[in-house]
Structure 1
């Protein structure tokens, strides 16, 4: 019989939308129910989740529904439990650095949502203590595991684009104010004092997406806005929205070959969707272009590119969307969050670094900080190297 290792995972903030839906329901429970994962050396890993949260009633009910034996409202106790191997955090941004610091100092491996901290200094310190402790640290880079971006990255690796010129991204949707229809996102997202901010939330994503698809981010020019000044919270109380709910960014990138690339990404909770998916990225290059969403990716080669002629006096008779071809997956791509969890668990079992660690997360925090600074000072800011 192959050796089986049980990894006990304390899952903090699991009653939140992302923690519950993506990490528990679509990642850890499927890994548990499939009997774990088998490593290349024949060993098996199984998982045992421990639900952690402040609301005892909610935690107990989730444990009952999903047949989870262990749950607690005492985060410190579970962090210091010697039988716990991994601490996962999906709680509020303002609490994350403190939680991760405690977990690392207790010798736990950590897997965490972003941003890892509210400041670059805190994010770098987390990376330093994790390295000193020798633990495996993973940061959720879910979008790089999405089928659409997996296909987009494959096109880059195959040289499909030739010399890459630009990337354009559109992200967001309308988040209801909460007065007549309930908001789809928690109210703290729109209060600066509680860690809310579109820039803080999404620029850490855009940093790893840009790094993972094209190359390093060299500079940022950003404009932020609070388009909806008043919202209603979970108790239907009106409050002032003090955090930016939209961020419009221009990023200068550099490919591994040294080619300059211009990226533009619009992010907004105050926009209505007229595109195929909630997020889409278009890369244009000298030999071809591609548009990728969460799942779908379409491409157009140089040889198949039509020659449109500008004529505002006549209606358009051609369907531009029909001129693109869908890129096949050519593989079975499971849920992106689950795939990264499995990769992280393998790294824990082998005692090695996870490829998306705390230093990568620190660069995301840095981009968010400099994005906010750029917006406040109305200027382009160069991005220095992040080092331990």
Structure 2
């Protein structure tokens, strides 16, 4: 078996998501298993080149994982002809410039979302990539979660019949930073730095709804900032200028309606941090990160509303667990494998920069809907 090395510039891997999910649990995990088997006698070996602004952090990260290549000079890395792929996990405000430079250097690009702070910037990137003839992909990790893969299996198998509605709940309490450190960086709560839960989460909801149930055709949203003062990484108080909660209604092609609440100011009283309930004429399902439970119409009980009597049974116990039926790998790693196959073998891949632009479009229209107190149609995008 022959081994082909693909050198990947990874920008932003000193951050939580870039480090844990993309470097450690994706590319380093691929190396630990001997590389990506392409199935024809060739193995793809990812070689990360760490890029960032803080030399000491990059050096420490490289040493921790036995890597030798890192740089604070992005232009020098992009000028290296042996680097084939540029990956971006930076803060949103820095992403457009770096992706533009990488595309201009002829690199294939793979990026976290949102791809840009606004739709114009997201579409401009997609056009640049198309005109440059490079391959491009956007992380859409929730599609690869075990719970949503089970849900997709139910959709494809016709379990629901006509899908009527989707209800999603996402969020948790992010500490304000005064008596306990916050679990998210402070820039998330500053609009001027690209923060806000709408730009962070609406792109996720766009691709989840689009791939599982149908394209979003209209949005009506309300956003707010529940916690108005927080403390940053140095313990200094600052005013939150970005929203920390969003409540959206999304109309879908085919007639179904989705309602999704997103909040960093909610305490969790559900099985997982994100859950989706799908109700169809023939059955319903509740899916989270890993689990998925169903109730078919043939097994649906007959509830009777009577507030004068206590409930003597558990509604949860009336649902059945969907079996795994397969082994589920890390979702980020699974999508990395598909993108690397796309590069190496021209295998199909449709989660590209135009798909990323759809997510930015939905976020932009959601914010506009909230600001103006009205419903907005979501037009189809084209380059």
Task: Give yes or no for TM over 0.5.
Answer: yes
Match of 2:272 among 264, 277, 283: 277
Task: Map residues 293-312 of structure 1 onto 2, 5 A cutoff.
Answer: 293-312=288-307
Aligned residue for 1:204? 203
Secondary structure at 2:256 match in 1: strand
Q: Retained in 2: the 8 A contact 1:225–1:247?
A: yes
Deviation at 1:3, TM superposition (A): 3.3
Aligned residue for 2:351? 356
Aligned residue for 1:173? 172
Aligned residue for 2:227? 228
Aligned residue for 1:289? 284
Deviation at 1:4, TM superposition (A): 2.0
Q: Matched residues in 1 for 2:240 and 2:321: separation?
A: 41
Deviation at 1:264, TM superposition (A): 0.1
Aligned residue for 2:122? 123
Deviation at 1:352, TM superposition (A): 5.2
Q: Retained in 2: the 8 A contact 1:6–1:48?
A: yes
Deviation at 1:358, TM superposition (A): 0.5
Secondary structure at 2:302 match in 1: coil
Secondary structure at 1:85 match in 2: strand
Q: Matched residues in 2 for 1:62 and 1:80: separation?
A: 23
Aligned residue for 1:9? 8
Secondary structure at 1:260 match in 2: coil
TM-score by length of 2: 0.99
Task: Map residues 70-149 of structure 1 onto 2, 5 A cutoff.
Answer: 70-149=69-148
Q: Does 1:378 align with 2:373?
A: yes
Q: Matched residues in 2 for 1:40 and 1:31: separation?
A: 15
Q: Matched residues in 1 for 2:38 and 2:218: separation?
A: 40
Task: Map residues 149-160 of structure 1 onto 2, 5 A cutoff.
Answer: 149-160=148-159
Aligned residue for 1:218? 217
Aligned residue for 2:38? 39
Aligned residue for 2:183? 184
Aligned residue for 1:324? 319
Q: Matched residues in 2 for 1:280 and 1:105: separation?
A: 40
TM-score by length of 1: 0.97
Q: Matched residues in 2 for 1:42 and 1:203: separation?
A: 41
Deviation at 1:29, TM superposition (A): 0.4
Q: Matched residues in 2 for 1:349 and 1:3: separation?
A: 14
Gapped regions of structure 2 (runs ≥ 5) = none
Once superposed, which parts of structure 1, at least 4 consecutive aligned residues long, lie more than 6 Å away?
none
Deviation at 1:351, TM superposition (A): 3.7
Secondary structure at 1:188 match in 2: helix
Q: Matched residues in 1 for 2:103 and 2:34: separation?
A: 28
Q: Retained in 2: the 8 A contact 1:146–1:336?
A: yes
- Bigger drift between 132-141 and 234-243 goes to 132-141
Deviation at 1:97, TM superposition (A): 0.8
Aligned residue for 1:262? 257
- The C-alpha deviation readout for 1:134-190, integer Å capped at 9, x for no partner, is 111110010000000000001000000000000000000000011111000000000
Gapped regions of structure 1 (runs ≥ 5) = none
Between the two proteins, the alignment pairs up a number of residues equal to: 383
Secondary structure at 1:275 match in 2: coil
Q: Retained in 2: the 8 A contact 1:191–1:243?
A: yes
Q: Matched residues in 1 for 2:125 and 2:41: separation?
A: 33
Q: Matched residues in 2 for 1:54 and 1:32: separation?
A: 26
